[in-house]
Each structure stands twice: as structure tokens, then as C-alpha cells.
Structure 1
Amino acid sequence: MARARPQLIRARLETLHPTQLTVGLAEVQAKRQEWQQLKRKARTAALNDHWFPCVLGPRQRYYIVDHHHFGLALLQEEVKEVPLLVLKDLSFVEPDSFWEVMGFNQWAHPYDAQGVRRSFERIPGRILDLQDDPYRSLAGLLRRAGGFAKDATPFSEFLWADFFRRRIDIETLCKLGAKVRARGMKLARSQDARYLPGWVGQIVD
């Protein structure tokens, strides 16, 4: 029996359901700034390059499984519609079983801004209601700066966020200043981080 191919469609961004509790708002802001610098044709191209992977769930609602930061940035920039890549139709699955299936497939990440696992019911129904996790912001900033490489492992940057969470206290992190970034970069390139996806090794002087 042939496997169903992913379906390409368009949908209203505000109707999409997230599959995680948090984002890094500093990274969202960075994506907004990038968007603001683009001309009309470049914005169209950017959207065409960022199909939102999703799953069709109960009540015919689409649940995005990636690009939450970009989605929130676009909503704040008043973008109305985005392209979707429908990975799976789970609309027939009972609501009580749906999130378990999502978790099994690594399509959901129910961890809060303190890195604590919560029930799937705590995942908000709107992208606009995602919480800020400053450690996820730090992870995103350090990846952009070359601290580690982008990796296909699901929710890999949340693994990095938890790595920094255990090593940098929240009071120190607050302003994401140069000293915090330098410390984070040193940690990211250390041997302690070698088990994490995208680790690029230590800096050689």
C-alpha cells in the first residue's frame, strides 16, 4: 500500500494550534526584525521557503510541529495566511488519544518556561499565548552566533536551553548581555555539551 504524500495547503495563521508551551521571545524579535527588512517579493519568497509542517487533528484543526518562533513573529507583523505542509491526518483519532500519538511521534513538547514537563492540556490553543523561556532565547542567539549547529533532532534547541538552564541562574540571564553570551558560548563549545545535537566542538586558540 502506497504511503500518503504530504499535502500542501494554505491556512490562516491565527487558527493554527501550537504543539509546545514556550518560545524564546528574543528570537521572535530577531525574526521580526529580519522580516521588517524584507521587500514584498522577498517576503513572499521567505514564506514559500518556510512551509509550516503540521498535523491535522481533532475538529479539523491544524497543529504546527515546527516554526513556532517564525509563526509568532509573523502574527505580530500582522501576516494573515501561511503555507502548510500536512504531514499526517489524525483527525479521526479520539481527542484523548491525540496528544499521546503526537508525543510518541515527537511532534509535541509539553515543557514550561522552567523546563518542567506539564500535561498536554497545558499547551495553549493559540500561538499568541506561548510563554517566554529566556533560556530558549539564549540558545537561539548562540546558535545564530555559531555556538552550535542547527540540527534536525526534534526540539533540539530546547535541549540546549535546558543545558544552559542548569548552568546559568535566571538572575544572571535576565538581560542577555555580552557577558552572559560569552559565558554561554564557552559552555556551548565545552566538552560538557558534546552529547547535544549540533555540538561543533571546542574552540582551538
Structure 2
Amino acid sequence: MNAKGLKQFIKTVPIPTVLAKHDRHFVIDHHHLARALSDSAIRDAFAEVVADLSGLSDGKFWDAVIERRWAHPYDEHGILQANDLKAWQR
């Protein structure tokens, strides 16, 4: 695919995000596409903000994201990985 075709494709598939503090976007779907773009050194993509949770504290943010099933911070045994959540808050 040439650069123009790639740009047009990326426009048609915006990456759903949730807005957190400090204007940080957290990908809640299309993470394989986001990873493929990143691995291809493509640094710009189109995002669709599904929810603005930037006014919430870190704990409330993660409670809201997990409650809505936008994140699944559990290991292969179904155990919540709280340490991973703390790392994401940085």
C-alpha cells in the first residue's frame, strides 16, 4: 500500500481511546492496529475519544475503565494485576 492509501485507510479506522489526565489517550480497542502502526514506525493515527475521564483520580479512572470492560488487567489465572495498574499511572 502506498503512503496515500495507508493514510486513507487509517482515517477510516480511528482507534477508540479514553482520555485520562494530562491529555493521555488509552487505547480501548483496535490495539492490534495501533501496535502494527507503531511497529512500522508510523507515529500518527486517528483516534476517537469514547469518553473523557480526565477529571478522575487515578484510582477512579481505572475503576471506571475496568467497570466498562475497556481494560482487562488480569493474568492468565484471572488474578487482578494491581502492580500493572500502578505502573500505567506514571
**TM, length-normalised to structure 2:** 0.83
Shift of 1:73: 0.9
Q: Does 1:119 align with 2:75?
A: no
| C-alpha separation in 2, matches of 1:115 and 1:81 | 35
Give the 3-state SS of the residue equivalent to 2:42 in structure 1: coil
| Corresponding residue to 2:73 among 110, 126, 133 | 110
Query: Which residue matches 2:40?
Result: 77
Residues 101, 121 of structure 1: alpha-carbon distance in 2 compared, 3 angstrom cutoff: farther
Uncovered stretches (5+) of structure 2, i.e. residues with no partner = none
Shift of 1:41: 2.1
Letter of the 1:97 partner, please give it: K
Query: Which residue matches 2:16?
Result: 53
**Could you tell me the percent identity over the aligned residues?**
26
Uncovered stretches (5+) of structure 1, i.e. residues with no partner = 1-37, 126-205
Residues 109, 64 of structure 1: alpha-carbon distance in 2 compared, 3 angstrom cutoff: same
Q: Considering only CA atoms, is the larger Rg found in Structure 1 or Structure 2?
A: 1
**TM, length-normalised to structure 1:** 0.39
Residues 121, 97 of structure 1: alpha-carbon distance in 2 compared, 3 angstrom cutoff: farther
Q: Following superposition, which runs of at least 4 residues in structure 1 exceed 3 angstroms of deviation?
A: none
